[in-house]
Amino acid sequence: MKSPRQRLNNIVGQIEGVAKMMDRKEDCLAILTQLKAIKSAIAGVMDGVVEEQFEHCLQSLNKKDKALLIKMKNYVKSN
């Protein structure tokens, strides 16, 4: 399994590839398809980071902040 850093490096490569596609004025649908893939990849990294760090973050928070962090996690997971 790739680390979050490796996944981010892949995303950077995808973004650079899309920029080149746009410079070459490639097909709009192909560009949009790649952008959707990038969006999905970013969401995957976000989900992974939230899952890895969530429990650790909760330990040091007061009750009010814990509730806020739980709401943030649910928001990230739903979007």
With bands split at pLDDT 50, 70 and 90, how would you rate the model's confidence at 78? confident
Sorted by where each begins, the domain ranges of the chain are 4-78
Per-position DSSP letters for 23-73, written without gaps between them: HTT--HHHHHHHHHHHHHHHHHHHHHHHHHHHHHHHHT--HHHHHHHHHHH
Query: CA 42, CA 12: separation in Å to the nearest integer?
Result: 10
Residue 74 has pLDDT above 90, yes or no: no
pLDDT in tens, 5-61: 999 999 999 999 999 999 999 999 999 999 999 999 998 998 888 778 777 777 888
What pLDDT does 31 receive?
A: 98
pTM of the model: 0.72
- Fold entry, domain 4-78: Methane Monooxygenase Hydroxylase; Chain G, domain 1 (1.20.58)
